[in-house]
Structure 1
Amino acid sequence: MVTQKVTSLDVARLAGVSQSAVSRVFTPGASASQKTVAKVRKAADELGYRPNFLARAVVSGKSRIIGLVVAYLNNQFYPEALEKLTNKLQERGYHVLVFMASHQAGNIDNVIEEILDFQVDGIIAASVALSSDLSDRCLAAGVPMVLFNRVQDDPAMSAVTSDNIAGGRKAAEFLLAGGHKKIGYIAGWEGASTQRDREAGFRAALHDAGAELHARGVGNFTSEQSRAATLEMFASDPPDAVFVANDHMAIAVMDTLRFELGLRIPEDVSVVGYDDVAVAAWPTYSLTTVRQPANRMVAETVDILLSKIEGPDVGPHRLEIDGPLIVRGSARIPEGWKT
């Protein structure tokens, strides 16, 4: 037996209101009296009615759906940031569709094309980069986009990041103040702007102090490659301190140093990370790290995107937000340092 689909007209008849009143009740931000809302929702519940937002998007040209693209979720920073982004967008009356894309493979173009098929009002791309052709495609489709925790050379692309160069400088200055002479660095994925800028700031601060990088490895933002980079770095002439491009890798580095190489942290080697994810504060790690100000980054990202949705002529906006160095127990604390 085939059950006929309940329509908004059915709800309007049962509630004794117009079909447009039903539409207003189920449209975020639309005006409807409490009495009308109560009658419509009661009728909808009795009939089992659910509004078809995608069909409404075809008619109105606005879906109130945001496409959220993320490269990976194994880094604890991203599940937390995505939760904050989703909550903030929902507070503003938008729904979120999440799409996964590899941060290294070239399939991001296909993912964005798929998102555009869903008639989204805007796109947030978290830690992924786009080709210039794809940026032009989104622009031509009238779909604004904001990069979250990434930047790229395209001046027309809006982006929100932490101040990665300043963060890298803070890590170097802290380790130098602690008297370290042989300082190593474990990099993330070389194609990421966050990796590039954190290393640039770190190296610049070392150079300003007349120091040089003692050793460098590549962890590629993965635990496995961070472990391998650590074993190689400490095989001969090991450093006495290591700055790691994010906390996800830093945790793997610390485990490798302690449980495979038998080194003490921070007595034998200091470790500093970047992000300040929840696990960094666990007593097991007590990781000194540069905090990404996720709450403000999320708020600014949503504000920029919605301003572009509401005002198509709004120009690109780039924002770098400074984050503090959070001093814990994984690195030698310089004498007189204020924590």
Structure 2
Amino acid sequence: MAIEKITSSQVAKLAGVSQSAVSRVFTPGASVSPKTADKVRRAADQLGYRPNVLARSLITGKSRIIGLVVAYLNNQFYPEVLEKLSNGLQAEGYHVLVFMAAQTSNNMDAVLGELLDYQVDGIVLASVAMSSELALRCHAAGVPVVLFNRTQDNDSLSSVTSDNFAGGRKAAVHLAQSGYQRIAYIAGWNGASTQRDREAGFREGLASVGMKLFAREEGDFNFEQAKVAARRMFSVEERPDAVFICNDHMAFAVMDVIRDELGLRIPEDVGVVGYDDVPAAAWGAYKLTTVRQPANRMVQETVNMLMTQITQEDAPPRRLSLDAPLVVRSSSIKP
């Protein structure tokens, strides 16, 4: 037996209000008096009424959905950020649709097609780059895009990052001032702006104190590849006495190899600095010195930026780079 679907007109009749009043109550941001809203919600609860969000989107042209694209979640920074972004967007009356994407143009083409099919009102790309061609497609569709923890050479795209260059520089100066002489670097994925800027800042920081990079390996933002990079870097006769690793996720892998496989002491034999300051960095097993990404503010600025571009079609793109402080723990010697 089919169940009768409760309509907004039935809710309006029971609440003693107009059908348009019912619609306003269930439309985020619409103007309605508290008294009317209370009557409508009590009537809706009594009847078991729920508004048809998809039908409303066909009328208004707004889905109230934001597409959130991430490349990987094994880095502990992103699950935390994903939760914060979801909460922040939901507080603005939007629902979040999460898509996973690899760092390839073909994959991004497919993901973007799906996003636009869902009539999303905006897109946040976390740890993912976007080509100029894809950016033009979004612009043509009237869908604003904000890059989170990424930036690129495209003035039409808004972005929110920490100051990766300054963060890398702080790591270099800290290690040099702590007395380390053979300072190395383990890179992330070379296609990422975060990798590029952190390494550039690190090299500039070393140069500012008259030093050069002693050794370099690539971990590709991957836990196992970071272990391989650490084995190559520290299994030689003249090994580094300090290393800056492009993110905490790889830094944990490097620390495991240094201590557990090679029997070296941290920070006496090798000083270690990471980037992100994920919760595990403060755990007793690591106590990692790291550059802290201001995740809460980065998320809030991303949400604000996206809301501005959704409500103001002529809003210019913005690029925001936030200060990232160095947090000194016991994986490095304090100056």
State the TM-score bracket (shorter-chain normalisation).
Answer: over 0.9
CA distance in 2 between partners of 1:78 and 1:220 (Å): 16
Deviations 1:280-330 (A, max 9, x none): 011111100001011111111111111111110011100111111000000
Structure 1 position 105, deviation (Å): 6.8
- Does the CA-based 8 Å contact 1:89-1:302 persist in structure 2? yes
CA distance in 2 between partners of 1:308 and 1:291 (Å): 28
Partner of 2:119: 119
CA distance in 2 between partners of 1:22 and 1:119 (Å): 25
In the alignment, does 2:294 pair up with 1:293? yes
CA distance in 2 between partners of 1:247 and 1:202 (Å): 16
Deviations 1:125-182 (A, max 9, x none): 1110112111001100111110000001111000010000000000000011111111
Mapping 1:92-241, distance limit 5 Å: 92-103=92-103, 106-236=106-236, 237-241=238-242
| Further displaced range: 282-291 or 89-98 | 89-98
SS at match of 1:180: coil
Mapping 1:1-339, distance limit 5 Å: 1-103=1-103, 106-236=106-236, 237-334=238-335
Paired residues, number: 334
Structure 1 position 104, deviation (Å): 5.2
Structure 1 position 204, deviation (Å): 1.3
CA distance in 1 between partners of 2:4 and 2:116 (Å): 30
- Does the CA-based 8 Å contact 1:57-1:119 persist in structure 2? no
- Does the CA-based 8 Å contact 1:72-1:103 persist in structure 2? no
Inter-CA distance 104–199: structure 2 relative to 1 (3 Å threshold): farther
SS at match of 2:324: coil
Structure 1 position 100, deviation (Å): 1.4
- Does the CA-based 8 Å contact 1:242-1:271 persist in structure 2? yes
* Residue identity opposite 2:59 in structure 1: V
Identity %: 66
RMSD, aligned CA: 1.4
SS at match of 1:175: helix
Instruction: Mark the runs of 5 or more structure 2 residues left unpaired by the alignment.
Output: none
Structure 1 position 193, deviation (Å): 0.4
- Does the CA-based 8 Å contact 1:183-1:213 persist in structure 2? yes
CA distance in 2 between partners of 1:144 and 1:246 (Å): 29
SS at match of 2:249: helix
- Does the CA-based 8 Å contact 1:124-1:148 persist in structure 2? yes
CA distance in 1 between partners of 2:3 and 2:241 (Å): 71
Partner of 1:337: none
Structure 1 position 89, deviation (Å): 1.7
* Residue identity opposite 2:321 in structure 1: E
| Further displaced range: 78-87 or 126-135 | 78-87
Structure 1 position 69, deviation (Å): 1.1
CA distance in 2 between partners of 1:71 and 1:55 (Å): 32
Deviations 1:173-229 (A, max 9, x none): 001111111111111111110001000110111123221111111111111000011
* Residue identity opposite 1:304 in structure 2: M
CA distance in 2 between partners of 1:114 and 1:10 (Å): 36
TM-score (norm. length: structure 1): 0.95
